[in-house]
Structure 1
Amino acid sequence: MALSLHHLVVDAHDLPALARFWCRVLEWRVLSEKEREVIIGPSAEAGTGICFMPVTDAKSVKNRLHFDLAPDDQEAEVARLLALGARRLDIGQGGGRSWVVLQDPEGNEFCVLKPRRNLIAFAD
């Protein structure tokens, strides 16, 4: 059986606003916008995207899944993301870590990693 990841689904209160934030973060674009879903991705031909779906309840706990972003320049990227509307977040990670924890405008956590100079090969 062939299987591939199609979308990561993110619950949101303001679908268009959160989708546009992540489009700016990832330099992606809106691929589909409907009343109850907004889908973004790098292109219409890309195999995987992010789908934003509506929820009415408020976020109350740490995400069980989050994005790790790998920039060329961590400091510059954190500054860019803060300018786009992200906020710093302390989840008890302590100092000296190789990542910076941020949250998007709706409070979803994500990390900005230090640059990865060498690609890591994952073995199966």
Structure 2
Amino acid sequence: MAVSLHHVVVDAHDLPGLARFWCRVLDWRILSEKPREVVIGTDESAGTGICFMPAGEPKTVKNRLHLDLAPDDQDAEVERILALGARRVDIGQGEAVRWVVLADPEGNEFCVLRPKASLIAFRDPPA
């Protein structure tokens, strides 16, 4: 039996607002918008999307699952995402890490990494 990742589901209080934020971050678009479900992705035939569903309670602790973004230019991307409404957060990551921790407008943490060469290796900066 074959299986694939279909959606990453995010609980939200403002489904359309959070979906629009992530569309701007990822350069995706809203594929479906219903009162209790907003789906975003590159297009309807994409392998994986993000689905925003109503949250039952306020967020109170650090996420147990988060997204890692791997841009070509970490500093420029962090500034761009901050301008879209994200904020820097400290979850105990310290100063010596290779990523920047941000939170979306509803407080969901995510990381902006240094450029990656693969799923397991960072791309070394040019010499």
After TM superposition, the score normalised by the length of structure 2 is 0.91
Q: Is 1:3 aligned to 2:19, yes or no?
A: no
Corresponding residue for residue 14 of structure 1 = 14
Question: What are the equivalent positions in structure 2 for 1:74-93 lying under 5 Å apart?
Answer: 74-93=74-93
Following the alignment from structure 1 to structure 2, what is the Cα–Cα distance between the partners of residues 24 and 119? 24
Secondary structure at the aligned position of 1:2 is classed as coil
After TM superposition, the score normalised by the length of structure 1 is 0.94
Question: What are the equivalent positions in structure 2 for 1:24-43 lying under 5 Å apart?
Answer: 24-43=24-43
CA RMSD of aligned residues (A): 1.4
Change (3 A) 1:121 1:90: closer
Following the alignment from structure 2 to structure 1, what is the Cα–Cα distance between the partners of residues 120 and 87? 32
Secondary structure at the aligned position of 1:63 is classed as coil
Following the alignment from structure 2 to structure 1, what is the Cα–Cα distance between the partners of residues 119 and 84? 30
After TM superposition, which residue ranges in structure 1, 4 or more long, deviate above 4 angstroms? none
Cα deviation for residue 47 of structure 1 reads 1.6
Corresponding residue for residue 124 of structure 2 = none
Identity %: 73
Cα deviation for residue 45 of structure 1 reads 1.1
Which runs of 5 or more structure 1 residues have no equivalent in the other structure?
none
Which runs of 5 or more structure 2 residues have no equivalent in the other structure?
122-127
Cα deviation for residue 46 of structure 1 reads 0.4
Corresponding residue for residue 54 of structure 2 = 54
Question: What are the equivalent positions in structure 2 for 1:75-114 lying under 5 Å apart?
Answer: 75-114=75-114
Q: Deviations over 1:100-123 (max 9, x none)?
A: 00000000000000112x33579x
The size of the alignment, in residue pairs, is 121
